[in-house]
Structure 1
């Protein structure tokens, strides 16, 4: 019997191009549809969850959901609930108000450099969201900056979102100093949310309409780049870890493969949404991952 491999042809094409199909098959065995007790316990201590998907018009976004620990929890071996759901003004609010919306989620804990991804179908509930899992898996701690979370949420409410079709000077400066962002991508059967990290400056902003970053070696799955091979739509989420401001970007992305084996992703902006105070949490300054290129051990 041929074992089930959780990859579509886009991911397979990238794996074959890079020469990591065997490694991808090995790692792919860790992808299941069940939430193990250790994963359920991890979710229950998280103060934030990133969710990715397409809005009713087809634009792809990554959004930040926050709450007191326990706002995300497993409600069965194949389902999680999210209390509160997205803000009414969030770009994904309309899609998440519908039944069966394909979503990708990632719970990333800077305190422990652990992360867990769960992809599936969302539906609204009286308290927020429920997500039925199709894929559940964890990733290594590579490129995650360590941060602590002092107790107590910041007072105040999120501002009204500010929309734009190009990046402002302040936004470009903020992106150029970022050490972390989240990437939402989609394919014919679902969606995915992943993490990208590096030292400040790993994201380049050559114009008000374009972002560029190097794709660092990872787990060989190539879920995100595989999705972009078949569907270039993408959503990016940047968080100001101190003030709680979020900058959400939607557009398209393509991957460039160099002869030396390096990969570069170029993102072209369609719309930007900036929200001050979107997160109530203020994290400490980062301890950069020793895996970051250029980082001293």
Structure 2
């Protein structure tokens, strides 16, 4: 285990069951095909989209990411702070708890950003190329020696004015409790770059407002099995709450900054209904 690679106790058998209403297999298969097709369309369009102006590119990414989430049969509810259109004047580190592969398009639908991902993803068929073309920052999470270089790369992107998104728990957790602690390494990049930190809270709910295990993608769960659980879970809603930013210099060091962001995400106030709903 390294600073980037904690081990979550969550397992598919214990944490990823769906006990609510289910879609018929034919309807679920149609959603699965639609979601995969829309994802592949996004992959094919990446080279052209990169040539567009940043503001237009962000609008297209937000629209595409929202459409991907909906295509897989998942409703999207965004609450909390209003997000101004366009990019921040300075770099911003977006941090969120990590539950599912759905978290990635979910964050992109609200705050398009350069994602931080493990280096193995670079070599995945199709999606690795898509991630690289999209500006993903790849890190070697199982090599502690690579940590300073990864922090330097993140700080450079933030200092250049980019919005960078990272899941500082380092692994997916089922979302039924607080999950893992926020690792401080990425927050050092925000300290070095003088960038604000924007916490997000992600949760998945059933129509009864109970936590939805169907969305959890944990342990050695095969992606195909997770995809099928998502499209067969009727009424699944993804909730993302945008919390107030922690300003640059608002905390004395990376550990205090990580703890402040983790506390904001886990706090009771993050669970209350918000006055504004954007989707």
Question: Which interval holds the TM-score relative to the shorter structure?
Answer: under 0.3
Structure-1-length-normalised TM-score: 0.25
Higher relative contact order (CA 8 A, sep 6+): 2
Greater share of strand: 1
Greater share of helix: 2
